[in-house]
Amino acid sequence: MNITLKVTKDLNYEDVVSIFYSVNFLKYPEKRLIYIKAIEKAFRKSQFVVSAWDNDKLVGFVRVLTDETLFATIWNLIVLPEYQKKGIGKLLVKKCLDKYKNLHFFIFADEDNIKFYEKLGFKFHQYGMYLEKGKKVCVIYN
């Protein structure tokens, strides 16, 4: 395994969506084309996108939204299941943290991923909030 990181938004978004499906982030196969379009737009509007490659195979990615002055948020850190627990997620997150060394980072994580982020220095914060309405209107959730 020879993992390299690339900073680019020019990805095959069919492959990106396949990786989303591989970790059960996406539910509806019949919405694949809608997902491809929405996810490509989200990635292209992000300030920073890093992908991980095993030779010419896309195996993971992460993206950052930021004001580039104060705050940054990590989104969609996803690694193919067969490549997980090999340090790839850590490499992707570190690349983001290195890019924006002077910003305050936030992340939203599933309960089973909290330990992973704690190992990277993130602290759990009990006061995170979201609007429930968002799940009803976002193409990913409905």
- d(CA 107, CA 117) in angstroms, rounded, equals 9
Q: Identify the active-site residue in 21, 117, 130, 141.
A: 117
Can 28 be counted among the known catalytic residues?
no
Rounded CA separation 113/87 (Å) = 14
In the structure encoding, which two tokens stand for residue 71, read together? 């705050």
H helices of 23-132, where?
32-45, 88-99, 114-119
Give the residue numbers annotated as catalytic, written as ranges. Answer: 117
